[in-house]
A and B are shown apart, each in its own frame.
Chain A
């Protein structure tokens, strides 16, 4: 963590967008069309070509960067599931020799193979510093959508590509991508359940806690600076709140009984948790330092696993007040509680979507746990996983376009990701032991 932090600072210093290559394209122009409508139920993957970058002066140490960065870009852009990346073998002409700018590109070479979008670029590298220029074109419209030039350390090339890809997504779907995000999860790699962190695509996994006991339920603060989690460090389930950079001392919430399922309020520095200090698991609202603001539920049954609506005015939670665990929604001000799920007799771990319209959860269907999404308006539920082991603990990407979850489809539990409509399910994390309870961070830049 320490090293990573140093890295962060350096990249902030070094990495700078030197200029926007064409004027008038900093923001989406008024006549811009929405290239990808993520709300469409039938998402069409946009055919896209990403040829290898051109060598604009690479030193001898890094001859493979032209291909490596293009591969990285294909993986990153492809991760969203919005694009159909065309096979480089189908490209006409020699893209390495083709022009990089609008005037020089033969758009017909791309439109004739069906590419609707083209990302090209060039790279130079000297003394460990790389300079890249990257552009996104609408091939049929023969337009430059964005062009950026980045300078940074060669070790930060992954970050550079991710920053550009975030811009690509922002221009194509109207909201920033999630390539700056991390996923926190629980892994038994050491023999104990500990919290780990990894990049959104599973790259760079690393151990975050070392409690040498049971550690569960990581929860990111909305600013991405704090992680709250439950740990049995003292043989009891208490909540620990830790600085993600592990520089400041943490805080501990240790009421008698359960201290579990931390969930940060989206705006204020508050978190809702499950406490059983009064003899029954109930949801409470606490300050960031662990003082009780108020009790949010009051029922004879179990109330647990709160998740906030994006506006912070409502929260969903699990209760067995009707006999089996089901998902309920409570309005903070009106204090009205309504039941959301009626299908199945075991529905838990709700997560409110960033757009506010849906709740993802894990439900028992035909003896297996699967991921479902249900509309707050009662739409659905839609089953997103099936016939593939137990699927649990859904967590939304901050733009709502993807859901990560844990699955036993290949034996031991691993972390998987899918589009929020259930498409393109693939594994992103496989470490020794089992991985469960993923929690997607907010955008970190």
Chain B
């Protein structure tokens, strides 16, 4: 039953296509409708199917491209998010003022935050091991607050930004040299 319906359907499609083709080529074509009706069943079918395949191929190409674009967009989105999280800003010894590099990074972060309005963040202020833990807790807080103030200046709502200081208690680099110290004098950005 299904086979038969399919056959009729193919036939119908074939006629419709033929008519369509015919109408497109209307200028040169001669009206020989009665003859055509019998012939097309076999001859026109492959042509039509070929077209279908081409169409399908084209569609899947489009789809794939769309999908790829989606993937690319998602990947880029993830990359931007990762970058937001992973890119720390750094400070000079015993300072909480923002360096030029830090401001550039914060501008990118502000851009990302402005397109992700549902995201709240915590800025974690950190210090190197030199100095006393008590003072470094205060310094870490200042570092976090510096970045927060800058983001607010760039139009990000302060309600979305928390700060916490870890002072010298959570070093990223456990070394005891300038390379380790400068890596540890940082604000880290966490998504709540």
- Residue of A276, A320, A393 near B132 (CB, 8 A) is A393
In the complex formed, the residue of B with least CB distance to A215 is B169
Q: B134 — which chain A residues lie within 8 A by C-beta?
A: 216-217, 260-261, 274, 304-305, 318, 348-349
Q: A235-B164, A346-B94 are in contact. Are A257 and B131 (CB under 8 A)?
A: no
- Residue of A258, A260, A305, A324 near B94 (CB, 8 A) is A324
Q: Which residues of chain A (407-438) have a CB below 8 Å from chain B?
A: 436-437
Shortest distance between the CB of B98 and any CB in chain A (Å): 16
Q: B139 — which chain A residues lie within 8 A by C-beta?
A: 302
Q: A257-B163, A274-B138, A281-B142 are in contact. Are A348 and B131 (CB under 8 A)?
A: yes
Q: A302-B138, A305-B134 are in contact. Are A276 and B145 (CB under 8 A)?
A: yes
Q: Does B166 contact A (CB under 8 A)?
A: yes
Shortest distance between the CB of B170 and any CB in chain A (Å): 8
Q: Which residues of chain A (305-361) have a CB below 8 Å from chain B?
A: 305, 318, 320, 324-325, 346, 348-349
Q: Does A237 contact B (CB under 8 A)?
A: yes
Q: A216 — which chain B residues lie within 8 A by C-beta?
A: 133-134, 137, 169
Q: Does A214 contact B (CB under 8 A)?
A: yes
Shortest distance between the CB of A346 and any CB in chain B (Å): 6
A369 to B142, CA, bound (A): 23
Q: B133 — which chain A residues lie within 8 A by C-beta?
A: 216-217, 436-437
B141 and A276 contact, CB distance less than 8 A: yes
Shortest distance between the CB of B127 and any CB in chain A (Å): 12
A258 and B132 contact, CB distance less than 8 A: no
Q: A41 — which chain B residues lie within 8 A by C-beta?
A: none
A280 and B132 contact, CB distance less than 8 A: no
Q: B141 — which chain A residues lie within 8 A by C-beta?
A: 257-258, 276, 281
- Residue of A193, A281, A369 near B138 (CB, 8 A) is A281
Shortest distance between the CB of B89 and any CB in chain A (Å): 18
Shortest distance between the CB of A352 and any CB in chain B (Å): 15
Q: A237-B165, A324-B94 are in contact. Are A258 and B138 (CB under 8 A)?
A: yes
Q: A120 — which chain B residues lie within 8 A by C-beta?
A: none
Give the B interface residue count (CB, 8 A).
19
Shortest distance between the CB of B128 and any CB in chain A (Å): 12
A325 and B94 contact, CB distance less than 8 A: yes
Q: Does B135 contact A (CB under 8 A)?
A: yes
Q: A258-B141, A280-B145 are in contact. Are A318 and B135 (CB under 8 A)?
A: yes
A348 to B167, CA, bound (A): 14
Q: Which of B131, B132, B135, B170 has the most CB of A within 10 A?
A: B132
A304 and B135 contact, CB distance less than 8 A: yes
Q: A237-B165, A325-B94 are in contact. Are A258 and B135 (CB under 8 A)?
A: no
Q: B145 — which chain A residues lie within 8 A by C-beta?
A: 276, 279-280
Shortest distance between the CB of A393 and any CB in chain B (Å): 7
Q: A393 — which chain B residues lie within 8 A by C-beta?
A: 132
Q: B131 — which chain A residues lie within 8 A by C-beta?
A: 325, 346, 348, 364
- Residue of B94, B135, B138, B164 near A236 (CB, 8 A) is B164
Q: Does A392 contact B (CB under 8 A)?
A: yes
In the complex formed, the residue of B with least CB distance to A236 is B164
Q: Does A362 contact B (CB under 8 A)?
A: yes
Q: B137 — which chain A residues lie within 8 A by C-beta?
A: 216, 230, 237, 258, 260-261, 274, 304
Known: A257-B141, A393-B132. 10 other contacts (CB 8 A): A214-B166, A214-B169, A216-B169, A280-B145, A302-B142, A304-B138, A318-B134, A320-B94, A349-B134, A364-B131
A-B residue pairs, 9 tightest by C-beta: A281-B138, A304-B138, A302-B138, A348-B132, A348-B135, A214-B169, A276-B141, A305-B134, A349-B132
